[in-house]
């Protein structure tokens, strides 16, 4: 039993000492003025759901998993995902507005500029809500990677310590920025040019692991260098007779070393050299050095009149063993290709995905912008025979979703064989009346299909619907009149069903399904959805 203290009997000194103890208990960490946000306030009255735009579906391959693009504010999309994908996401990558004062950080319909006295508080309030929702989507082995620069890195680090726990901080990665004109920037800012930005890495629990922290040789061309050899001067020390080299039509191999010329390069090489007999010629290159440099694959041969250039790749794979990423963060072609100037570089995103997720991972980006993350997942799947899936969320600020992200992901899905569904967030009245519960159920179909990953329509009706995927069936019963005909279908199909059944209270109505109990797993709607929303929207 807690002891009740009567402070009336305490002296002034005793009271001051006691107050001191309370002060010490104040937590170390970030403090900010919480700023109400319209999109969150809206959820006190309206509840978000998603609806599909069917005409935007891409189906390139049968029975393959479906990737998802959700248009809308990510606070709403993440709330929906808290029902459909709690604990299911392996990796989150986000590239939120950096709060530079001149980009798209919009708070309550106004762009937050650098003069705004509450600019940090607004940004932190905005991020806190989203990161909390995002955390519960992660698996225990999952991690989150957040791009950020100096404007908010300090605040974000403390905020993430608060949300994920300081012990779950993993790394700050530094990534290079392509700086346009160093000199002119320096003149403008009178400070050193910022040549890198960051990625903060946090994990959900200690089960998070970097999966593949290696760097493939051909992944990063910068790591290699051009070299050349030529046949002009002829001095004994620089002479190397290419004797003993086995030459066949399709291949040129060093006998003692691993260096080789691939078929296509061989032809160019022969053309530049003139003919095969010239291979017995003298090359201006110290023998030993030549061999050492070429004990590695050579990639390109660029013949000019007298020289043959080749690209030397330092080694086939190396460990990416420091947090200094040898990648460029920004994609110069973003504006031209996707109408978006802050698009991230695909190679950089590919590296993050590669080091932090298995080939079956589910990847979420809820500041998707022009959709680089989705594009990269599709491309990696095709190149590395992986089967990662993604969920992208973005608003449609300046048409970024419909005019950039969707067309980009649509064409990548066709090119690399992925399936895509396009959803947008809409709202239903949230007041707890029977009519509103019914309305929520009527609008919950897509959410339930998304949760069960079950989209193929088997039976469409007003009172109930049946969907299937290659593993299971999904039944949704909207109305009491649907129960009996639905049960007949279950008996006919005679497979296991997950069944969402309309119920004004929390009961799953087991007694009404007793005769098919072994085939059905029953869940009451809208209770299963409302229980999640109640916790989020309080
Ligand atoms: C820096 S960009 C991301 C760029 C992206 N990484 C790419 O490579 O294209 C941030 C994006 O988040 C979107 N965004 C900002 N606030 C949002 C919100 N509350 N909900 C959804 N999207 C939002 C913006 O429209 C912008 O497109």
Give 51-65 pLDDT, tens digit per residue. 999 999 999 988 788
Mean pLDDT, the chain, rounded, equals 81
For range 393-401, the mean pLDDT: 94
Q: In this structure, what token pair is assigned to residue 99?
A: 């709060």
pLDDT value of position 194: 82
Q: How confident is the model at residue 285 (pLDDT cuts 50, 70, 90)?
A: very low
Q: How far is CA 208 from CA 168, 359, 432, in A?
A: 9, 15, 40
Q: Residue 175 — φ and ψ, nearest 5°?
A: -125, 140
Q: Is the CB of 397 under 6 A from ligand 1?
A: yes
Ligand 1 atom nearest the C-alpha of 74 is 20
- Tens of pLDDT, residue by residue over 515-536, are 999 999 999 999 999 999 999 9
Banded pLDDT at 73 (limits 50, 70, 90): very high
Structure-token pair, residue 137: 């989507």
Ligand 1 atom with minimal separation from the 404 CA: 9
Find the mean pLDDT for residues 340-358: 89
pTM for this prediction: 0.80
Please tell me the distance between residue 103's alpha carbon and the centre of ligand 1 in angstroms.
Answer: 10
- Find the range with the poorest average confidence among 128-142, 223-237, 457-471: 223-237
CA-to-CA distance for 438 and 476, rounded, in angstroms?
Answer: 13
For 447, the token pair is 């959410």
Contact in structure between 349 and 175 (CB atoms under 8 Å): no
Least confidently predicted of 8-17, 42-51, 288-297, 338-347: 288-297
- The pLDDT assigned to 23 comes to 62
What are 186-225's pLDDT values in tens digits? 677 777 878 899 999 999 999 999 987 877 655 544 455 5
Query: For residue 529, what is the DSSP state?
Result: H
> Which residues face 197 on adjacent strands?
175
- Spell out the residues 6+ positions from residue 333 whose beta carbon is closer than 8 angstroms to its own: none
**Contact present, 194 and 182 (Cβ < 8 Å):** no
Supply the pLDDT for residue 278.
42
d(CA 252, CA 262): 7
Mean pLDDT of 37-42: 94
Helix (H) or strand (E) holding 70: strand 66-71
In Å, how far from its chain's centre is CA 164? 18
- Residue 249 pLDDT more than 50? no
Beta carbon of 126 within 6 Å of any ligand 1 atom: no
Residue 25 has pLDDT above 70, yes or no: no
User: Is the per-residue pLDDT at 255 higher than 60?
Assistant: no
95 in ligand 1 pocket by Cβ < 6 Å?
Answer: yes
pLDDT at position 40: 94
46, 403 Cβ separation under 8 angstroms: no
d(C-alpha 210, C-alpha 353), whole Å = 10
Cα 335 from Cα 105, distance rounded (Å): 19
Q: How far is the CA of 397 from the centre of ligand 1 (A)?
A: 8
Question: Is the CB of 104 within 6 Å of ligand 1?
Answer: yes
Please state, in angstroms and rounded to a whole number, the distance separating the CA atoms of residues 249 and 264: 11
């Amino acid at each position: 039993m807690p002891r009740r203290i009567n402070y009336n009997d305490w002296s002034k000194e005793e009271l001051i000492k006691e107050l001191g103890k309370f002060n010490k208990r104040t937590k170390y960490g970030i403090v900010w003025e919480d700023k109400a946000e319209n999109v969150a306030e809206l959820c006190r009255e309206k509840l978000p759901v998603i609806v599909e735009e069917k005409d935007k579906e891409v189906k390139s391959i049968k029975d393959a998993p479906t990737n998802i693009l959700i248009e809308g504010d990510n606070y709403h999309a993440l709330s929906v995902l808290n029902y459909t994908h709690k604990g299911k996401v392996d990796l989150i990558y986000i590239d939120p507005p950096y709060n530079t004062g001149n980009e798209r950080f919009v708070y309550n319909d106004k762009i937050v500029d650098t003069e705004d006295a509450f600019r940090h508080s607004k940004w932190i309030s905005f991020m806190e809500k989203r990161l909390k929702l995002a955390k519960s989507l992660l698996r225990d082995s999952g991690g989150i990677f957040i791009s950020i620069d100096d404007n908010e890195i300090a605040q974000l680090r403390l905020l993430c310590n608060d949300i994920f726990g300081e012990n779950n901080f993993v790394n700050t990665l530094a990534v290079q920025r392509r700086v346009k004109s160093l000199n002119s920037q320096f003149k403008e800012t009178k400070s050193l040019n910022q040549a890198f930005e960051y990625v903060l890495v946090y994990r959900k629990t200690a089960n998070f692991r970097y999966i593949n922290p290696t760097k493939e040789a051909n992944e990063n061309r910068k790591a290699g260098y051009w070299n050349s050899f030529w046949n002009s001067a002829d001095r004994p020390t620089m002479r190397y007779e290419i004797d003993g080299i086995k030459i066949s039509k399709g291949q040129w191999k060093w006998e003692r070393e691993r260096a080789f010329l691939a078929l296509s390069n061989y032809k160019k090489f022969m053309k530049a050299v003139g003919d095969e007999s010239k291979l017995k010629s003298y090359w201006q290159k110290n023998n030993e050095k030549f061999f050492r440099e070429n004990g590695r694959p050579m990639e390109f041969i660029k013949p000019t009149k007298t020289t043959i250039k080749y690209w030397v790749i330092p080694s086939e794979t190396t460990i990416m063993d420091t947090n200094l990423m040898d990648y460029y963060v920004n994609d110069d072609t973003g504006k031209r290709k996707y109408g978006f100037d802050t698009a991230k570089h695909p190679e950089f995103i590919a590296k993050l995905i590669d080091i932090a997720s298995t080939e079956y991972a589910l990847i979420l980006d809820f500041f998707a912008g022009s959709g680089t993350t989705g594009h990269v997942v599709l491309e990696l799947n095709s190149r590395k025979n992986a089967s990662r899936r993604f969920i992208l969320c973005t608003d449609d600020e300046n048409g970024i979703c419909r005019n950039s992200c969707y067309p980009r992901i649509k064409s990548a899905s066709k090119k690399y064989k992925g399936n895509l569904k396009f959803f947008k967030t809409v709202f239903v009245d949230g007041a707890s009346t029977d009519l509103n519960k019914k309305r929520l159920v009527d609008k919950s179909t897509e959410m339930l299909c998304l949760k069960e990953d079950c989209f193929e329509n088997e039976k469409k009706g007003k009172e109930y619907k049946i969907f299937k995927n290659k593993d299971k069936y999904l039944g949704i019963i909207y109305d009491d009149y649907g129960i009996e005909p639905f049960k007949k279908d279950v008996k006919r199909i005679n497979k296991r069903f997950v069944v969402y059944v309309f119920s004004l209270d929390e009961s799953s109505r087991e007694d009404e399904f007793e005769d098919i109990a072994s085939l059905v797993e029953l869940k009451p709607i809208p209770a299963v959805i409302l229980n999640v929303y109640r916790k989020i929207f309080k």
